[in-house]
Structure 1
């Protein structure tokens, strides 16, 4: 392909400013003639973007392919064309047809004799130091995916179709592979990077999007949602389910699900930070001078702020925390919900509410579950910190910002969206990636955010209507089976039991005493009776890739 950038001079003649000549890559060489001609325009605009972007007067583009004059008016196009249209939207241009006989200069550039069908030696354009902010782990994963793609026999016909037989394939094959693309020697499905059938590669991705501090050991659905933002493979849902189910950290730090009870839901607010609820988590050991956490949750988007503080904070100190961390970012809430603790109902706060025009809406004394959303977030915070703190629990305050990030980046079951998405209009990037991303126009972002608010409000109302009680069942276990033991009645050698694991083990079942009691094989250091009520036991999920580490500091 070849192109010339020209500018009209005072003599009213076009004078060349720059020349461009490129060869088509392996996949590009298989494009049809129409797409090759359009790609030449794309490459020329990319090459001279600094001169051509956002011009007042239209750029005049001359081509010897007549159909391109009408391409921007087309109503049907594929995914590649959609990406190109987004790129071209940054330029003010007009396409004009010029017969090949009148296009000798660019035609000559596109027929250079040194463009032979042979591999090109790689050339270092910029030193590696320029990319110091790029995630090495992410680039390694993408490189490994690229290297293993052709080793997966199930992907071979798709890759062959995209790189060799696209023009000659029958309509049925074209339809079957319509959602696939081949770019940068990578296979894409619906805009997501296809992961080949390699268990080590899948496990590496699962560790990054579940076990890492930025992910925060989310549940099955949230782990799947995080991975599926950028990657795809057949059976990904089952892979995420098994990985989370067998995660030793998740099993140790979460109690078995108890039967649910009916909740008294709050009224659905009309927009983010109209209504907020807040609560304290106390009982932490000292960390950077803090021993408590103030939790503030927006009732609409579920966006949360986790603020380190002390359990002896005064009413004035509490007001300062709100102003510093919440009000300066999100405006004044119309309504607030608390648990009617003495700190929240102090005289200073009541005067502050009145001065700022905030209407307190405290939970009913006989229905404390009306403030249940902060209680559920409290459980998440404690679980997150248990998963990452050191053995003496002294560094929990340093993990609190990451806990807040992980919570706000996870999809909430009540809204179907992440708090980040509902407040800011998009999800944050967990780590730098070479996955293509386009920045939509401001109007489109505003329209999308307004629509997401409507969807979230509808989802909240549906969740409120469907709240109902659930019934539990009595589990049964076999001799030799391993189970978790609820750790609420077992003391450990730690500074605080607030961040101790919720479940201990796994321990082997030695004997079934009755339908409701089992004898366990306990370590010698655990000086307690070895028969336990069945309600304190829960099932163990094992995976060879995720070994257990039973090294708890038990008291003698």
Structure 2
């Protein structure tokens, strides 16, 4: 009788959709391959900014994973056609087609125009998990860098920040990167960027030698620099992993076939703090790797997958397969449960993939 009462209480749908609690899982930091120069770009939009005298309000930036080279431009709007023009004019026409393009889930970055362009380039578009800016840490960190630079020179009205944006990008690409040991321009273009001080110290233009000799020396220099940068980056990744792994807690306890509750807080007008936040139960169908899982929901057997089958990074709480189906349903948007099964006393949170070391 006691076991029956316990199972009956644990199968309460309202309790499951409201009282489910997740245990945070922080797995170890994983390394991410960067490829060659121009293979993978991270793209993001910084907004909103003060409207400049030229009408610009947004900044579109892209950073190459292998060289850390940054391309940035100020734009008045960030619609899908604007993003597509940036990809073609500033990236493809200058550095060649990329193999992978990493962007977040913003509508202007995942619209039909951008998707058609990426498919035409035969590239792969990667979309990290929403609300996980660390997965785009490479370009997010660049945004912070150029903002700190521009803030030192912008006028009091802040209406000329787009004037200083190219200067900040030039300084960034010409500075030595702590991860690779080389400047981004040196790895991308094969030479260091000069500064006004260097021009003052030189006496004049050096005589141009044989172009064939210059080409051989340039190719050799870039090969040596690329190999040294990869080794330095590996050491930097190991150092960052040791620092990050100090907060590792435990791995996910989920297994294929488990029933889970999915944290999907309701949004919209009329939603109160008494609304039930969990939906389901969903059944785990496959291991997506990196302590993440793929599953199917209860409603219409809809797959629980993020855009472009990126790893499922949602908060889940375990649900027992013995959950009772005879419990009454309640409206979720009125502050009550939505009528989903609940069972089992074990609760956990789906392991979240830590920041990628490609950043």
* TM-score, scaled relative to structure 2: 0.54
Q: Distance in 2 between matches of 1:291 and 1:265?
A: 36
**Contact 2:133/2:140 (<8 A) preserved:** no
1:375 aligns with 2:146: no
**Contact 2:63/2:139 (<8 A) preserved:** yes
1:392 aligns with 2:165: no
1:282 aligns with 2:55: no
Q: Do the aligned partners of residues 335 and 263 (structure 1) sit closer, same or farther apart at CA in structure 2, a change above 3 Å counting? A: farther
Counterpart of 1:173 in structure 2 is: none
Could you tell me which of 308, 324, 344 is aligned with 2:74?
308
Counterpart of 1:403 in structure 2 is: 168
Deviation at 1:292, TM superposition (A): 0.7
Deviation at 1:307, TM superposition (A): 0.7
Q: Distance in 2 between matches of 1:350 and 1:266?
A: 27
Deviation at 1:262, TM superposition (A): 9.4
Deviation at 1:367, TM superposition (A): 4.5
**Contact 1:266/1:370 (<8 A) preserved:** no
Q: Do the aligned partners of residues 393 and 262 (structure 1) sit closer, same or farther apart at CA in structure 2, a change above 3 Å counting? A: farther
Deviations 1:172-207 (A, max 9, x none): xxxxxxxxxxxxxxxxxxxxxxxxxxxxxxxxxxxx
Name the larger-Rg structure: 1
1:271 aligns with 2:36: yes
Partner of 1:324: helix, strand, or coil?
helix
Deviations 1:422-452 (A, max 9, x none): 0111112212133479677321121011111
Partner of 1:364: helix, strand, or coil?
coil
1:446 aligns with 2:219: yes
Could you tell me which of 47, 53, 62 is aligned with 1:296?
62
Q: Do the aligned partners of residues 264 and 326 (structure 1) sit closer, same or farther apart at CA in structure 2, a change above 3 Å counting? A: farther
**Contact 2:47/2:59 (<8 A) preserved:** yes
**Contact 1:409/1:428 (<8 A) preserved:** yes
Alignment of 1:216-235 (within 5 A): none
Q: Distance in 2 between matches of 1:424 and 1:302?
A: 12
Deviation at 1:338, TM superposition (A): 1.3
Could you tell me which of 114, 120, 144 is aligned with 1:349?
114
Q: Distance in 2 between matches of 1:376 and 1:363?
A: 16
Could you tell me which of 177, 180, 183 is aligned with 1:415?
180
Q: Distance in 2 between matches of 1:385 and 1:265?
A: 33
Counterpart of 1:317 in structure 2 is: 82
Deviation at 1:467, TM superposition (A): 1.5
Unpaired runs of 5+ in structure 2? 1-25, 247-359
Q: Do the aligned partners of residues 263 and 370 (structure 1) sit closer, same or farther apart at CA in structure 2, a change above 3 Å counting? A: farther
- Which consecutive segments of 4 or more residues in structure 1 shift more than 3 A? 261-266, 364-368, 434-440, 468-471
Alignment of 1:56-205 (within 5 A): none
Q: Distance in 2 between matches of 1:299 and 1:270?
A: 8
Q: Distance in 2 between matches of 1:443 and 1:400?
A: 35
Q: Do the aligned partners of residues 420 and 265 (structure 1) sit closer, same or farther apart at CA in structure 2, a change above 3 Å counting? A: farther
Deviation at 1:365, TM superposition (A): 4.0
Counterpart of 1:175 in structure 2 is: none
Q: Distance in 2 between matches of 1:375 and 1:269?
A: 17
Q: Do the aligned partners of residues 283 and 367 (structure 1) sit closer, same or farther apart at CA in structure 2, a change above 3 Å counting? A: closer
Q: Do the aligned partners of residues 367 and 318 (structure 1) sit closer, same or farther apart at CA in structure 2, a change above 3 Å counting? A: closer
Q: Distance in 2 between matches of 1:336 and 1:281?
A: 17
Deviation at 1:368, TM superposition (A): 3.5
Partner of 2:237: helix, strand, or coil?
helix
Backbone CA RMSD of aligned residues: 2.5
Report how many aligned residue pairs link the two structures. Answer: 211
Could you tell me which of 410, 428, 434 is aligned with 2:201?
434
Q: Distance in 2 between matches of 1:357 and 1:328?
A: 15
Deviations 1:40-84 (A, max 9, x none): xxxxxxxxxxxxxxxxxxxxxxxxxxxxxxxxxxxxxxxxxxxxx
User: Structure with the greater relative contact order (CA < 8 A, sep ≥ 6): 1 or 2?
Assistant: 2
Q: Distance in 2 between matches of 1:304 and 1:396?
A: 18
Partner of 1:296: helix, strand, or coil?
strand
Deviation at 1:455, TM superposition (A): 1.1
Q: Which has the higher helix share?
A: 1
Q: Distance in 2 between matches of 1:262 and 1:387?
A: 39
